[in-house]
Amino acid sequence: MTYHVGVISGDGIGPEIVAEAKKVLDRVGKKYGHEFLYTEILMGGCSIDATGVPLTDEAIAAAQASDAVLMGSIGGNTSTSPWYKLSPELRPEAGLLKLRKSLNLFANLRPAYLYEELKAACPLRDDIIGSGFDMMIMRELTGGLYFGARETKDVDGVMTAVDTLSYNENEIRRIAKRGFDIAMKRRKKVTSVDKANVLDSSRLWRKIVEEVAADYPEVTYEHMLVDNCAMQLVKDPKQFDVILTENMFGDILSDEASMVTGSIGMLASASLNDTKFGLYEPSGGSAPDIAGKGIANPIATILSAAMMLRYSFDLDKEADAIENAVKLVLKEGFRTIDIMPQDSREHNEHTQAAGMCTEEFKNAVGNKIVQVGTKEMGSLIADRV
């Protein structure tokens, strides 16, 4: 089977981590008899440099012509990059918002799973971690504050900025249905997160979620205010199964969830529309400070590729193979620097000589934790698919 994958490598570490995801996909294709054909698509800062805008109509058309899109990361250093001296609609992130809207990618899935081998990287106490946690954050992606009307103007001599948070019942209903559908395939629990004690949009959100919940009698559900949810994520993360929430709340909570897994470099994501089409990307940023150093963690991008196989291509066996390969590599003790325990970083510094292969790493330190770079991690996972 042949699959056409649009590839947005983007900025910063994006090209490095996407290259490793493609490496793993190609290994899957070779093993299971598939062919992945890639179309490069410009978006973000690199598109600004080449075309003057963060996303062209041609790029949107190329994405629409693909079976799915795999993305790295976009943007740069907001304090030093010339991209951020442009007006907001011409900055890198504007391209991503436009792409989501153009492709109707309303449902964002961000799994947050604590690997047994990464418990030491989790900042929470052992008694809080317990046996680990496994949650799915379901974020509405094309409505809310990020897409509402906005302006900055002079009001009686005072500069005033206004951002509008707007949701209608249809937008809420479709993301709620998707959240409850996902819960049916998991542990059948939904936590709907809002700010209904203050916001009208949240009160409507809560009303519609309750209507949708009536169609899913097997799923237990609860409402939780967003500030309480932020606290509960670090107090008792294992209580959550599916967290269903609006755009801005989901943006913030999913980043918080990523850090209790040990690193944002471990958090994959999928953005889906009403069909099988999806945009798959790691949840982390472009990390311009480490771009080109070969130390970025590609696992989130590789796991995003696995989500693409599962949700867009219905290749569950192949997706399982990638996820199991990641678990095996971690179990064998290989780590990128962001998920290395501090004591192991110091112990393994002597093994990082240029040109030393991963097998030599293992021989050098036996069963110790071994630090590897971006390319090495990608090769290790590909070899174990």
In whole angstroms, how far apart are CA 58 and each of 21, 43, 186, 273, 314?
A: 24, 11, 39, 20, 28
Q: Active site residue: 11, 194, 241, 251, which one?
A: 251
Q: Does residue 227 have an active-site annotation?
A: yes
Point out the catalytic residue in the list 255, 327, 368, 375: 255
Catalytic residue among 200, 227, 320, 383: 227
Look up residue 289 and give its two tokens.
């400070």
DSSP-assigned letters across all residues of 75-105: ---TTT-GGGGS-GGGSHHHHHHHHHHHTT-
Residue 195 annotated as catalytic: yes
Catalytic residue among 195, 216, 241, 311: 195
DSSP per position, 289-341: TTTTSS----HHHHHHHHHHHHHTS--HHHHHHHHHHHHHHHHTTEE-GGG--
- Single-letter residue type at 289: D
Say if CB 284 and CB 73 are below 8 A apart: yes
Q: Catalytic one among 11, 22, 115, 146?
A: 146
Q: At what angle do helices 299-311 and 374-383 cross, to 10 degrees?
A: 40
Residue 101, Cβ density class (10 Å: 0-12 exposed, 13-18 middle, ≥19 buried): middle
Q: Which residues, other chains included, contact 32 with Cβ-Cβ below 8 Å and sequence gap of 6+?
A: 315, 317, 318, 321
Tell me whether residue 49 is one of the annotated catalytic residues: no
Phi-psi region of 160 (alpha: psi -120 to 50; beta: other; left: phi over 0): beta
- Told to judge if 236 belongs to the known catalytic residues of this protein, a careful annotator would answer no
Q: Which residue do the tokens 């294709």 mark?
A: 29
Write out the catalytic residue numbers: 146, 195, 227, 251, 255
